[in-house]
């Protein structure tokens, strides 16, 4: 998580603690702060995605109640169901990887853009090499807003 996002999460949590006149941030404030942060992130990146791919309006909302781990086929189905043009699917997957909305599950663990020094080629090539066996994972930061249980 980027430092500015940690600060946002802290700010939301602090706000909830203040609203309930608590002198310290309680666990429930952190939980509410995470939910608010997740919703904010979802809305912000939804707008960003539409700026780049106007046909992908509301795309991220199609992941509502999904499983956190998606097969290559699952991911393609979500994108096509959301109205992404078949010719744009790989570009949209690249966008989702680049912005950390999804990551790639590998033998050595889950990898997101921030774990590969923001070099999208690392994730793109690994996904390409895995082909139809590629497993994608929705970033846990989006799970509260999308109603997805986080896998541990």
Q: Can you spell out the DSSP letters for the chain?
A: --HHHHHHHHHHHHHHHHHTT-SS--HHHHHHHHHHHHHHHHHHHHHHHHHH-GGGTTGGGGGTT--SEEEHHHHHHHHHHTT--GGGHHHHHHHHHHTTSEEEEETTEEE-GGGGTT-HHHHHHHHHHHGGG-EEEE-TTTHHHHT-PPP-
Same domain? 68 vs 122? yes
* Number of domain units in the chain: 2
**pLDDT class for 1, splitting at 50, 70, 90?**
low
Same domain? 136 vs 65? yes
Mean pLDDT throughout 128-138?
95
For position 67, what pLDDT does the model report? 94
Query: Which domain-ending residue is among 33, 52, 71?
Result: 52
Residue 147 lies in a domain: no
Task: Give the Cα separation of 25 and 15 in Å (integer).
Answer: 9
Residue 98 lies in a domain: yes
pLDDT at residue 151 tops 80: no
Residue 83 lies in a domain: yes
Query: Which domain-ending residue is among 12, 37, 52?
Result: 52
Question: Residue 55 to residues 60, 61, 93: CA-CA distances in angstroms?
Answer: 12, 14, 14
Same domain? 22 vs 90? no
**pLDDT class for 152, splitting at 50, 70, 90?**
low
Same domain? 67 vs 130? yes
Residue 150 lies in a domain: no
**Of the candidates 72, 105, 106, 103, which has an alpha carbon nearest to the alpha carbon of residue 89?**
72
Residue 152 lies in a domain: no
**pLDDT class for 55, splitting at 50, 70, 90?**
confident
Residue 78 lies in a domain: yes
Percent of the chain whose predicted confidence (pLDDT) is above 70: 98
Task: Give the Cα separation of 142 and 124 in Å (integer).
Answer: 21
pLDDT at residue 123 tops 80: yes
- In tens, the pLDDT along 10-44 reads 898 999 999 989 999 999 998 999 899 999 999 99
- In tens, the pLDDT along 70-115 reads 999 999 999 999 989 999 999 999 999 999 999 999 998 999 999 9
Residue 112 lies in a domain: yes
Same domain? 114 vs 100? yes
Beta bridge partners of 102: 138
Domain that holds residue 14: 3-52
């Amino acid at each position: 998580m980027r430092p500015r996002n940690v600060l946002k999460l802290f700010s939301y949590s602090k706000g909830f603690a203040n609203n309930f006149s608590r002198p310290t941030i309680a666990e429930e404030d952190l939980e509410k702060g995470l939910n608010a942060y997740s919703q904010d992130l979802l809305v912000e990146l939804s707008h960003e995605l539409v700026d780049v791919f106007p046909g992908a309006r509301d795309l991220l909302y199609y992941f509502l109640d999904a499983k956190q781990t998606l097969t290559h086929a699952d991911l393609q189905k979500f994108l096509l169901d959301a109205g992404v043009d078949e010719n744009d699917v790989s570009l949209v997957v690249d966008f989702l990887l680049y912005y950390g909305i999804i990551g790639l599950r590998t033998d050595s663990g889950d990898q997101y853009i921030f774990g590969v020094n923001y070099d999208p080629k690392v994730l793109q090539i690994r996904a390409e090499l895995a082909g139809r066996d590629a497993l994608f994972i929705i970033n846990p930061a989006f799970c509260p807003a999308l109603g997805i249980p986080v896998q541990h």
